Amino acid sequence: MEQLPLRRNPTRAVRIGTVTIGAGHPVAVQSMCATPTRDVEATAAQCEQLHRAGAAVVRLAVDSRRDAEAVALIRQRTEANLAVDLQENFELAQQVAPHVDKLRYNPGHLHHHQRSRSWQDKVAWLAEVAARHDCALRVGVNCGSVDPAMKARFPEGDSIGPMVQSALEHCEHLDRLGFTRYCVSLKDSDPQKVIEANRRFAAQRPDVPLHLGVTEAGMPPEGIIKTRIALEQLISQGIGDTIRVSLTVPNARKHEEVEVGRQILADIAAGRVRSVVDYGLPGLNIISCPSCSRVENEAFIELAQQVRQMTQYAREHKITIAVMGCRVNGPGETDDADLGLWCGPKYVNLKRGPELIGAFPYDQVLDRLREELDRLIRSRAAEARRAKETAR
């Protein structure tokens, strides 16, 4: 890993296989496989592709026992440091931990299984599994899947407060357990919220290494720009110890996430930064999640491209459209968009804010999306006229 002369916060050291983050170590670039984890050969090949591109850690999604069984075989076929995203089933940690270097859990997903069991008890079990198998942990907080109980403690519309507080409480609990080999991530699709959430957390816990990224950053070049600005603002202030660039690209191009991440770090070290406080999208903003192994139909990637092309006529309108590739984050992370699409194996769920309009085949959803977009534009134009008349 290239030794980049970047100022760092005085975080503790956390070892992930052969790489260490925090404590002044170089900022590590990570990525995530987009192939189905159960496809051992394809996933092992992509692990090696990302590893050769310079990924310090490669993440796999595990959502079933079949996925977990595949991890053991993938481990035999790659030298990459492996992290596992436990998704909603935290109990799979026991099966995969012997074969990986880091376990990532989402505090907002712990309530899905064993509902009568407290999250504190579940985290204690995860920490014990991680310690027994020489694994690090990542506490991964996402804007679209914050623990409902935590969200209820904050005013409606405050998305940053619950994220930060959730991360802080999990850190405090892990510390009480005596498990300190962990890092934290706080991710949103809005770079400004990523910046604010990580600044707040780092102010209270400067000792905890941070994994930075803009989730659902979208397609290049917009996704790169959003990620670049968030990383520039944070890393230049010493915040951040490992990064992931999340881009909507075909499987064969996943290595570009690593290349872009390394380039961003090199540019920050050299002072080649945009230095923009507001990433400013005065018009249309299309959010799309990175292609990963949670995607249930790779047609989602082509659909994201088609959405961008079809909506060009509305580019001057300040409207957010979210295109999500899976059922894990799709439902929640489309709620805040004006129009949202989250993609299943055969159908695309079209939403207006949190309201589900319906499920449509991939070859029909674009026409329906355009109808909704036109309706939204007309509605806002009418509101603007009424406001103007009222102001007279």
User: Sign of the CA dihedral 252, 254, 255, 257?
Assistant: positive
Q: Find all residues with CB under 8 Å of 135, minimum gap 6, and list them.
A: 97, 100, 101, 102, 103, 129
Q: Where are the domains of the chain?
A: 14-270, 285-391
Instruction: Evaluate whether 14-270 and 285-391 have a shared fold.
Output: no
pLDDT tens figures, 306-335: 999 999 999 899 898 988 888 776 777 788
What CATH number does the domain located at 14-270 have?
3.20.20.20
Domain 285-391 CATH superfamily: Sulfite Reductase Hemoprotein, domain 1 (3.30.413.10)
pLDDT tens figures, 335-376: 878 999 999 899 999 999 989 999 999 999 999 999 999 999
Verdict on whether the full-model pTM lies above 0.85: no
Q: Evaluate whether 136 touches 102 at the Cβ level (below 8 Å).
A: yes
User: Sign of the CA dihedral 120, 121, 126, 128?
Assistant: positive
The answer, yes or no, to whether residue 119 has pLDDT greater than 90, is yes
The answer, yes or no, to whether residue 2 has pLDDT greater than 50, is no
Strand partners, 288: 217, 323
